[in-house]
Amino acid sequence: MSTAPAAPSVSPKPLPDNAQVLRVAIPVVLSGLSTPLIGLIDTAAVGQLGDAKYIGAVALGALIFTFLYWAFGFLRMGTTGLTAQAFGAENGVEIRACLGRALLIALAAGSGLILLQVPLEFAAFTLVGAEADAEALARTYFDIRIWSAPFALANFALLGWFIGLQRMRTALALQLFLNGMNAGLDGLFVFVFEMGVAGIAYGTLIAEVSAALAGLFLAARVLKSMPGGWDLAALKDKAALARTIAVNRDIMIRTLLLLFAFAFFTAQSAGHGNEVLAANTILMQFVSFAAYFLDGFAFAAEALVGEALGAKRREAFARAVKLSTLWAAGISLLLSAGFALGGPFFIALLTTAEPVRALAGTYLVWAAVLPIASVWCYQLDGIFIGATRTGEMRNAAIFSLTVFLACWWLFQPLGNHGLWAAFTLFALMRALSLAVYYPRLAAQSAGAAA
């Protein structure tokens, strides 16, 4: 009696390993480190024009767009989590729908910014004062660059989508293309065509438009190799749309609360005098530098956790959390040690003012402690974004901001040390408040198949 041949066994997808974590994290770190170079290039370009008003105008204009676009950071984070889960579930239709929904939101939000540019410009320059000549140039910068808003927001969506698919080299290439084109056009428009601040704005506008078009081209190429196709019904699915809106709404609220915390820190620094403000600004550069590295492993957690949950693989979830967190913790220790040992040297590079150097040295301990104190909130943010548990992130931001403001009020007798202590507790509370929710998230993953 003959027997039918056994069906070929399909080997299970391997669990996340250190190499996979690094493949996701390293391009994110490199991409992040490339971004501040553009600010330096912009400053260097207008700095050759021989008048401080040009530097001030570009700095002011860029600051306004940084704060304006930071509020739309949900387009990157929300898209990553939703795409990673669709990728884990091997759902090609939903992968396309995630991109389509994100791009539609970017188009709508960007168009809204253009339509509201007059009141936005009025509000921005009312809040951020400057000398008349610098403000006039900054308004020119604003009036030009605002027209790239839909494309700039589309770049957020595309970046989040590529990260969700773990196409980190593509994400890095797109970011380098944006930054490289921006730098090249700045040089062309300022030095060759002598367009001044307007040239900087046009360079950024053209770079953002070009990067969005390049991103769409690359996305189309990626989708050719994926099963499924575009489905209008899936794109308009009410449940999926409601989930997308809820995820993005919660992340936006959370981001605005964090933005307020950083702005409040800067405002209180100014209240302690110009020298303390300068010292804190320098030390915040250390914090920002650390963020580029910690973000890399948080992004790895987003992509790998989302994939694991989409595939319903609890072991992959636990492995992704463990490995990305171990790497992040190790990097945070190195960063803290580097700041503690090399801090005085870097402070001296950033300022020649002796009183500012002395004050920065006095408060350096806080910048050295912060990588270790904040790594946990970065990681938990990444885990919860990957799981699209954004309601918990919103609640954690509300709680931690409340604690920050209460501690600032209580620690006022300690002066600037009190401000830094409250800010450090803010980072710890962000982590602690998310950690309270983590067992429930882990239990959710345990309910999935191994």
Mean pLDDT confidence for 51-75: 76
Element counts in the chain: helices (H) and strands (E): 16, 0
| Residue 449: pLDDT band with limits 50, 70, 90 | very low
- Looking at 41-45, 310-314, 397-401, which range is the least confident one? 41-45
pLDDT exceeds cutoff 50 at 253: yes
**Mean pLDDT of all residues belonging to the chain:** 86
Give the whole-angstrom CA distance, residue 378 versus residue 366.
Answer: 18
pLDDT exceeds cutoff 70 at 52: no
pLDDT tens for 256-280 read 899 889 888 888 887 888 788 888 8
Pick the residue with more confidence: 446 or 194? 194
Determine the pLDDT at residue 450.
Answer: 41
In sequence order, what are the residues at sequence separation of 6 or more whose Cβ sits closer than 8 angstroms to the Cβ of residue 159? 76, 171, 174, 175, 215
Determine the pLDDT at residue 9.
Answer: 40
pLDDT tens for 68-113 read 888 788 888 889 989 999 999 889 999 999 999 999 999 999 999 9
Determine the pLDDT at residue 207.
Answer: 93
pLDDT exceeds cutoff 80 at 405: yes
pLDDT tens for 125-144 read 887 665 677 788 889 999 99
For tokens 């399909």, name the residue. 10
Determine the pLDDT at residue 289.
Answer: 86
Task: Tell me the pTM.
Answer: 0.83
Give the whole-angstrom CA distance, residue 81 versus residue 223.
Answer: 18
